[in-house]
Amino acid sequence: MKLEHIVADVLVHGLHTALMAKQFKISHRRVQQVMQYTCKNGCVPTLQKGGRHPYAQYPK
């Protein structure tokens, strides 16, 4: 998964979060949030499955 690569590159290799944001095409702030969560909790955050919610089921 991408998050493990981002965390490893920043923590182990000492790369900048701005560089990781550009490489993975996400915002700089999002990379900072992932790193903050990882340092605080000691694990990589699990993300929900992306996509929109299904339409509501209306009774007939």
Q: What pLDDT is recorded for position 56? A: 78
Q: What pLDDT is recorded for position 60? A: 74
Quick one: which of 19, 11, 14 has its CA closest to 37?
11
The whole-angstrom separation of Cα 42 and Cα 32 is 15
With 70 as the cut, is the pLDDT of residue 1 above it?
no
Asked whether the beta carbons of 9 and 38 are under 8 A apart, the reply is no
| Tens-digit pLDDT profile for residues 5-51 | 888 888 888 999 999 999 989 999 999 999 999 999 999 888 877 78
The whole-model pTM stands at 0.72
